[in-house]
Structure 1
């Protein structure tokens, strides 16, 4: 039976993103099982009633999110099954956009962190450190701390002293906070060591900015955001 993409999706969403979500849903409900091979591209095109370029866009996104892997001469295999708990914190229709937002942030915020290491004032560093400490306090009481986390990242873009970075982050506030909300909710379902790991990533960013280490700040921010993006599909421990 055809799984043609529904027309109820946002007009801003590409057909590839819609197919991405539908394949993701089938992975999450076990229709495409972990460590099993996806059907051939020709069959998937027929099932979803889309062209091969559209399907390949969807498959590329699934590979970028480390949900499937292609094996030369063998096709694509499911390598990760996100926990359905993700859907408690965000509708499936938002997941593709949230993942792309993480992808966009990686370079944007990494560059901003590098500039912050070079240009931050003492007052701006104090604001970054204060935001970091507020996350420490929130973590100690198992508070969600979505606002505190966003404020930390926003303080760093401000410290880049280039208003285009902070303007873009302001415009993306809703999407960014949706992603933070998911990853922090999932972290709270893990042992305390998960939040400690996340906060260590934040600490390394702060330390590099404090030391004036532009490349260290860039690297620490990029690693943090890539890890955060990956954690979105880790779900909760059994």
Structure 2
């Protein structure tokens, strides 16, 4: 704990790096800008999905979009940055932004506008948290906990064979991995946003049901890889397998027609 002069320095500067803490007004503005950026992101995404902005075509200029949507250009740029990270648009220096991929319309059926940005952030959170939980589960799991993971995996296998959605079984698998980490904070973190997680699982599993059996088998193979690594007590492999699975699920949300943009 800082004392004396050092404590005064930390208090006056806001931290050891000298950065002043954000004021309430600044924090409120940042939150408002993120919310606006999410709204613009989902608006542009929906228009791409509907075909208003075709694959390979250039988006309207930043000025045109910002005026049309009533937001500042910095807010618009935040939205376009997220679309680039999702692989939906691509920027060409000096030419603007072009539509690279058209996600399937089913995305809007299973995830109404207003939820997609949160779903994507949930995937980011899960990749970080559950990757580490899998690493520790591989090192610490008991035989009983391993059987619980296996039971959930077998239920997922059954759902794949019978064409069932399998959201509950998928959630049970991931929860069992977190429980096997022997650190209750992983479970607490997941439980704090369980509704968001279930929304994401519902979206990705519904989208998978619209695909071929090979797609379902590929997703299940990712679960198998996590279980195999935890069984072998290979923490690094378990972390990689879990992160790969969740990041792949995030990318699969935007599967669809892809152009040469």
Q: Which whole-Å CA distance do the structure 1 matches of 2:153 and 2:146 have between them?
A: 11
1:40 corresponding residue in structure 2: 61
In structure 2, C-alpha distance between the alignment counterparts of 1:12 and 1:76, rounded to whole Å: 21
For residues 125 and 12 of structure 1, the distance between their equivalents in structure 2, rounded to whole angstroms, comes to 44
Residue of structure 2 aligned with 1:158, choices 179, 198, 211: 179
Whether 2:235 is the aligned partner of 1:214: answer yes
1:168 aligns with 2:186: no
Q: Distance in 1 between matches of 2:244 and 2:90?
A: 21
Deviations 1:47-76 (A, max 9, x none): 212112211111111112111112223221
Tell me what 2:120 maps to: 99
Cross-structure match for 1:76:
97
Q: Is the CA contact (8 Å cut-off) linking 2:33 and 2:75 kept in structure 1? A: no
RMSD (Å), alpha carbons: 1.7
Runs of at least 4 residues off by over 4 Å: none
Provide, for residues 117-160 of structure 1, a one-character-per-residue CA deviation record: whole Å limited to 9, x for no partner: 11111111111111111100111111110000011001111111
Q: Deviations over 1:165-200 (max 9, x none)?
A: 111111221111111111111111111111100000
What runs of 5+ residues in structure 1 fail to find an aligned partner? 1-10
Change (3 A) 1:50 1:12: closer
SS state at 1:93 partner: coil
**1:148 maps to 2:152:** no
The alignment status of 1:59 with 2:71, answered yes or no, reads no
Tell me the number of residue pairs that the alignment of Structure 1 and Structure 2 aligns.
226
Larger radius of gyration: 2
Residue 77 of structure 1 aligns to a residue whose secondary structure is strand
Q: Establish whether residue 89 from structure 1 lines up as the match of residue 110 from structure 2.
A: yes
Cα distance in 2 between the residues matched to 1:71 and 1:116:
44
Aligned to 1:15: 36
Q: In structure 1, what is the equivalent of residue 225 of structure 2?
A: 204
8 Å CA contact 2:229–2:235 kept in 1: the answer is: yes
Change (3 A) 1:235 1:149: farther
